Structures are given as C-alpha cells and as structure tokens.
C-alpha cells in the first residue's frame, strides 16, 4: 500500500508515557501514512478479518490530527532548540515570546490549508465501504460554539466559557473528548473551530504555567538575554510597550549592579591610588616629625584634610567605568549587525575580552549556563554506557575520567597520539 500511494516506507510509531513529544511523532507518522492506513483499515474491516471490526478514521479526525501536529510542532522545535549543546540561558525568554506569537498567528488564521493532493490522490476502498468514509454531520454541542462576529460569515469559533468548561469536564471524566469537538457546518468551518480551540488552550497553558511565569519574573533570564548580542536589540519587543522604557532602564541598572558585585574593585586601581594619597600626605608627615620646625607644623596645620577622598573617588570611578562599558555595549550597532542569529555568542565575548574585560568575563559566565537539564541527563547516559555488566570493576575516578572524555570528545584534537606503553619490566 505504501508503494501504491508513493509513500515513504516508514513504520508506525508508538508513543511513550514518559515523553510527550513521542505522541506528536506518533500522530505525525500516522498523518504521513494516512492513505495506507485508511485503505488497510477499510479493507480489513470490510472483510471482517478475525471477526473484528477495525473501524476507520473519518475525514474530520484526520483533519484534527493534522491540526494537532501544527499546534504542537512549535513546542517540539523549542524543545530541540534549548536541548542543543551550545544552547544558552539567553534563549529562554525569546522562545517563550516567539511561541506566544506563533499561537497568536494560529488564532488569527484559524484554518489549516487542505492539501491539494487530498482530492486528486486515488483511494482504494472495499466494496460497500464508501459510505462509511462520509462523517456524520448530525452532531450535538451547538451551544458551545457560536458564529464569529468578525470575519467570514458562518465561521465557527469556541466561546471562552466553552473552552474552560470543555477542558475541565474532560479532566473530570464528565465529557468525552469527541463530544467537545463536534461542530456543525462545512468541513472548512469545522477545521477553523478545531484549530482555534487547540491553539487557544495551548496559549492559556503557556500564559498560566507557573514555571513559565517564574521564568519571566526572574531577573537573571532577562540579564542573560540582554548580554546576548543576538537579542540585545530585541529585548524591548519582549516587554509591554507602556513599560518598555522603564523596564529597559531597570535591566541596565541590574546589569551594572551585578558587574560591580562580581568585580568589586580591582587591586590595580587600589594600588594606583594608594601611593598617590601617601605621596600627597608625605610632606606633612615628614615635616611634623621634625619637632623643632615650627614652619613645617604651620604648613601642615593649614593643609586641607582629605583622608577619605581616595577610596570614595575610586569607588565612584569604578561605578562609572562599569556604566560606560554597558552603555558602549548597548550602543554598538555595527557589531550587532555583524553577528548572525546562528552565530555563537560565546565567540563574540571572547573577542571582546580586551575591550570590555569585566563585562566580557561576566557574560561568558552567565551564557555558559545551559537552559535545560538535557546535558546533565546526557552525562548520566554516557556514564551508563561506560559501566556495563562486563565492566563493573572500574573505580570511581576512572568512570569520571572516561565520562569526561566521552562528553568532550568533540573538543579533543585528532592530532593527539596515544602514548606507547612501556614494555620494560
């Protein structure tokens, strides 16, 4: 059947309870093999193979599966993006914002374009099974769906109470999922309603999820996004327009405060100011040591006393220096144009260690933090491959070293040669 419909020879996939994206992959593979699966179900149901009716998927159900893939695909892409080896903490806030924008586009569109090949592709059907492919149009649940006030006439969209009541009823087992998705109207109108329904629910989850809300409230994520040269000019778009200017000022102050806290004051600046202060007070101390020199005591008496001027001015100078570094980084438009979205921000900051030493060191430390625990899970998986049933006598140190080599083999040069073992007794 796959060869007859020019489909790739792929097997169907079963989902795993511990992996949410496995359900998406299962539905995607099912949609890919739609015609082979439909013909198989129809033929075996008509023949009554083994005395069991395998049933079939209606056209409305296939449309729901395609729309489900369209709604969940952005979340799968975001998961893969933050699971990369070079993913940074600065990728989290932009991904949350872009996920919301993608769902907004689905809500505005409210439709999935039908494939042109759907009408032209030949379908093999068993005798007497053609009528079974026509979905039943007499469905209930009209009160949960109302015609749209804007847009095309007759377009169906779910009301907000219907969405909340539907999902709460499904979780409590009071309402069947199929009953929630029954709409009246043409197939195109029903498709718009299903897509709007799923996209609205996912957008509500994205907006109300406590983990996502805590991420948007944490200052560390925003500072990391500001330190990424790919996003520094786009941070304002992630903020509410009425609070954009105020929040940007707060983020800059927070970055300066973190820099001053990370680099309180270098020893070189203290060493350079201390001799200057001692040199300024040197003549007075030496002249006062001469007990019989009245004029020396007279001059030292009228000299201005500024014992705390050195440290205060040094601290103020250090604060201004940090603020100038942040302002120069935020205002460097030419560098922002040079970096591409797929470039590694770590390379950017390594090349700026001489220009902005404190800022570059702090940025490297912040951006080195991974946004997900996937890398840690990969380390445990690599350690599980080192210790096997036939290799159980390795010491803890040997396991750590072998795991380190395994996880960093991409950084090991191929020119390194293994030392030859000494064969002498």
Distance CA 237, CA 97 (A): 9
Nearest of 208, 113, 122, 106 to residue 157 by alpha carbon: 106
Residue 149 has pLDDT above 70, yes or no: no
What's the average model confidence in pLDDT over 198-202? 86
- pLDDT, greater one: 8 or 338: 8
Mean per-residue pLDDT of the chain: 71
Residue 418 has pLDDT above 60, yes or no: yes
pLDDT at residue 360, as a whole number: 92
pLDDT digits (tens, 9 = 90+) for 29-61: 888 888 888 777 877 665 555 545 556 778 888
- pLDDT, greater one: 286 or 25: 25
Do 13 and 99 lie in a common domain?
no
In a domain, 187, yes or no: yes
Task: Tally the domains of the chain.
Answer: 4
Do 110 and 148 lie in a common domain?
yes
Q: Which residues of 305-325 are buried (b: 16+ CB within 10 A; e: fewer)?
A: eeeeebeeebeeebeeebbeb
Task: Note whether 363 and 250 are within 8 A (CB).
Answer: no
Binning pLDDT at 50, 70 and 90, where does residue 23 land?
Answer: confident
Do 380 and 363 lie in a common domain?
no
Residue 118 has pLDDT above 90, yes or no: no
Residues contacting 38, CB < 8 A, separation 6+: 56, 57, 123
In a domain, 213, yes or no: yes
Residue 264 has pLDDT above 50, yes or no: yes
Looking at mean pLDDT, say which of 64-68, 125-129, 336-340 comes out highest.
Answer: 64-68
Do 180 and 258 lie in a common domain?
no
pLDDT at residue 189, as a whole number: 54
Return phi, psi of residue 388, to 5°: -120, 180
Sign of CA dihedral 15, 16, 17, 19: negative
Nearest of 211, 225, 250 to residue 373 by alpha carbon: 211
Do 168 and 258 lie in a common domain?
no
Binning pLDDT at 50, 70 and 90, where does residue 224 land?
Answer: very high
Distance CA 368, CA 201 (A): 34
Do 243 and 176 lie in a common domain?
no
Do 177 and 200 lie in a common domain?
yes
Residue 67 has pLDDT above 80, yes or no: yes
Distance CA 60, CA 213 (A): 35
In a domain, 126, yes or no: no
Do 248 and 193 lie in a common domain?
no
Residue 18 has pLDDT above 50, yes or no: yes
Of 57-61, 72-76, 287-291, the least confident: 287-291
**C-alpha distances in Å from residue 145, one per residue of 74, 141, 157, 192, 381:** 27, 7, 6, 12, 49
Do 326 and 212 lie in a common domain?
no
Return phi, psi of residue 174, to 5°: -90, -25
Distance CA 31, CA 268 (A): 66
Residue 172 has pLDDT above 60, yes or no: no
Do 339 and 262 lie in a common domain?
yes
In a domain, 304, yes or no: no
In a domain, 347, yes or no: yes
103: exposed, middle or buried (C-beta count within 10 Å: 0-12, 13-18, 19+)?
buried
Do 34 and 151 lie in a common domain?
no
User: Domain range spanning residue 103?
Assistant: 82-118+143-217
Return phi, psi of residue 147, to 5°: -65, 145
What's the average model confidence in pLDDT over 68-77? 89
In a domain, 297, yes or no: no
In a domain, 423, yes or no: no
Residue 214 has pLDDT above 50, yes or no: yes
In a domain, 68, yes or no: no
Do 98 and 165 lie in a common domain?
yes
């Amino acid at each position: 059947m796959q060869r007859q419909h020019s489909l790739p020879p792929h097997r169907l996939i079963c989902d795993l309870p511990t992996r949410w994206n496995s359900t998406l992959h299962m539905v995607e593979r099912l949609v890919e093999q739609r015609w082979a699966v439909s013909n198989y179900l129809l033929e075996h149901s008509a023949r009554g193979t083994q005395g069991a009716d395998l049933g079939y998927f209606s056209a409305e159900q296939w449309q729901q599966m395609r729309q489900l893939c369209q709604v969940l695909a952005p979340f799968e892409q975001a998961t893969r993006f933050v699971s990369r080896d070079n993913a940074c903490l600065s990728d989290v806030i932009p991904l949350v914002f872009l996920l919301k924008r993608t769902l907004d586009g689905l809500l505005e569109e409210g439709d999935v374009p039908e494939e042109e090949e759907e009408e032209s592709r030949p379908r093999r059907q068993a005798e007497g099974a053609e009528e079974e492919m026509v979905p039943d149009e007499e469905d209930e649940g009209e009160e949960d769906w109302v015609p749209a006030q804007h847009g095309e006439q007759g377009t169906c969209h779910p009301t907000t109470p219907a969405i909340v009541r539907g999902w709460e009823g499904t979780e409590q087992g009071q309402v069947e999922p199929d009953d929630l998705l029954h709409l009246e109207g043409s197939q195109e109108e029903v498709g718009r309603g299903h897509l709007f329904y799923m996209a609205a629910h996912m957008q509500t989850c994205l907006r109300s999820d406590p983990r996502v809300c805590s991420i948007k409230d944490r200052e560390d994520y925003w500072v990391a996004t500001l330190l990424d040269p790919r996003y520094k000019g786009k941070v304002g778009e992630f903020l509410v327009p009425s609070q954009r200017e105020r929040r940007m000022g707060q983020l800059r102050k927070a970055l300066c405060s973190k820099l001053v806290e990370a680099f309180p004051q270098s020893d070189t600046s203290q060493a350079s100011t201390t001799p200057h202060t001692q040199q300024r007070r040197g003549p007075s101390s030496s002249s006062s040591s001469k007990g019989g020199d009245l004029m020396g005591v007279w001059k030292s008496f009228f000299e201005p006393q500024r014992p705390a001027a050195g440290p205060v001015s040094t601290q103020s100078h250090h604060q201004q220096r940090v603020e100038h570094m942040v302002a120069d980084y935020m205002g460097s438009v030419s560098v922002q144009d040079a970096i591409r979205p797929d470039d590694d921000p770590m390379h950017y900051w390594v090349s700026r260690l001489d220009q902005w030493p404190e800022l570059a060191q702090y940025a490297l430390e912040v951006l080195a933090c991974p946004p997900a625990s996937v890398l840690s899970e990969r380390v445990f998986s690599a350690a599980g491959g080192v210790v096997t049933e036939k290799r159980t006598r390795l010491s803890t140190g040997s396991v750590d070293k072998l795991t380190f080599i395994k996880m960093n083999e991409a950084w090991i040069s191929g020119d390194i040669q293994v030392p030859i073992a000494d064969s002498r007794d």
